[in-house]
Amino acid sequence: MQNAIYHLHLSSSAGGTSEGLVVICQGSVNGADGGFIYSGHLTGSDEALSGKLTLKRWSPSLTTVFEALEDFDLQVSGHATPGNSFTISGGISSQPDLAITIAGRFLSAVNAAGAT
């Protein structure tokens, strides 16, 4: 996966959607949407990605795809797609019926130091 800034479209099995941004550099993931800050890692080849994201609510007033959750870990797996985009999905152990899908679209490359 290319070191880059990605636009995210998040959707849940409960029907919610949101959008955010992340920077992925050397497998490290950092970003946010209107309600949560994301950090974690993605590993693997372009064909098979997996990782763990930690999400922390920063805006309690917004409704998000994560419903009423506050801070939690999201185990994800998926793949990169043509055009430097990716799709990952996963679940939350405390909410087994809630599935999250995250589609990332390339916006801008970053170097290993994180600069554009």
Superfamily of domain 4-109: T3SS negative regulator GrlR (2.40.128.380)
CA-wise closest residue to 56 among 35, 41, 71: 71
Assess contact for 100 and 8: CB atoms under 8 A.
no
The span from the CA of 116 to the CA of 114, in Å, is 7
Assess contact for 43 and 36: CB atoms under 8 A.
no
Q: Please name the residue that has the structure tokens 């949101």.
A: 18
DSSP state of 103: E
Tens digit of pLDDT at every position of the chain (116 positions): 789 999 999 998 888 888 999 999 999 999 998 888 999 999 987 679 999 999 898 887 776 666 667 888 999 999 988 778 999 999 887 888 888 999 999 999 998 765 55
In the chain, what are the domain boundaries? 4-109
pLDDT score at 115? 57
pLDDT score at 60? 78
